[in-house]
Amino acid sequence: MITALAAAKAYAATQNHGITAPGAAAETGGLDFGAMLKNAMTDAMHASKNAETQMVRQTQGKAELIDVATAISAAETSLETVMAVRDQVISAYQEIMRMPI
């Protein structure tokens, strides 16, 4: 079974971005965690809009059904990745809140 962290790393690898430690991002010129999340959300939004555009084009007879299915699949994958990262962040937050002071 794939974990949320593995999904986030796989997503980052497909976007040609490295996942770096918070302090190392400034030194190496890489992305920090916040920037990676922003990029993931932007990519998910673009994939969703592309799927909607392909659906409209198909209903107008201007696009093939395979293009619509591919766009919907890409949007679904992006959304699942974002949800997996969200779930992992919430789980980490809950774990931190359970720690004794």
Give the DSSP per-residue string, 43-91: HHHHHHHHHHHHHHHHHTT-S-HHHHHHHHHHHHHHHHHHHHHHHHHHH
pLDDT tier at 33, thresholds 50, 70, 90: confident
Q: What pTM value is reported for the model?
A: 0.64
Q: Give residue 7's pLDDT.
A: 64
pLDDT tier at 94, thresholds 50, 70, 90: very high
Q: In this model, does residue 97 exceed pLDDT 90? A: yes
Question: Treating both helix axes as pointing N-terminal to C-terminal, what angle do 65-98 and 33-59 enclose, rounded to 10 degrees?
Answer: 150
User: Among the listed ranges 4-8, 19-23, 32-36, 76-80, which one has the minimum average pLDDT value?
Assistant: 19-23
pLDDT, tens only, 48-66:
999 999 999 999 999 999 9
| Contacting residues for 3 by C-beta, under 8 A, at least 6 apart | 88
**Whole-angstrom Cα distance, residue 81 to residue 53?**
21
With tokens 């992992």, the residue in question is 88
